[in-house]
A = this chain, B = another copy of it.
Amino acid sequence: MPNQAVRLDRVFRALADPTRRAVLAQLNAGPAPLTVLARPFRMALPSFAQHMDLLEHCGLVRSHKRGRVRTYTLSPKPLAAAEAWLADQRKLWERRLDQLDAYVTALKKDTTP
């Protein structure tokens, strides 16, 4: 399986969870420490940290530790790959609809006296 496919698998899997999507949305406002990011969620910190590990593993966030504080930054490049895949599908679908439309128009023309 080519690397691009593996990357898309990981990114889409990362996005298939409301907590992780909410964290990514939150990080659009700027870098934030783990404890601040965890605050809106009703979950134990180790469980929340697992979500952050998964996001970091697939390259959607980066982190650095200063003393006891780990701070996370959004790294949105993999999201662009996912968005591009979806845009490609939409274009293929729209092209097919256009072809169908042209076919129906031609059919009408042929059958109209």
Contact = CB atoms under 8 A, between A and B. Distances in A.
Task: Give the secondary structure class of A's interface.
Answer: helix
12 contacts: A8-B15, A8-B21, A9-B16, A10-B16, A16-B16, A24-B89, A25-B89, A74-B93, A76-B89, A76-B90, A79-B89, A79-B90
Contacts of A18: 1, 5, 8-9
Closest 7 CB pairs of A and B: A12-B16, A28-B92, A13-B16, A83-B86, A12-B15, A5-B18, A12-B12
A28 B79 contact: no
Interface residues of A, number: 31
A29 B90 CA distance: 12
Nearest to A10: B16
Interface of A: 1, 5, 8-10, 12-13, 15-18, 21, 24-25, 28-30, 74, 76, 79-80, 82-83, 85-87, 89-90, 92-93, 96
Contacts of A87: 83
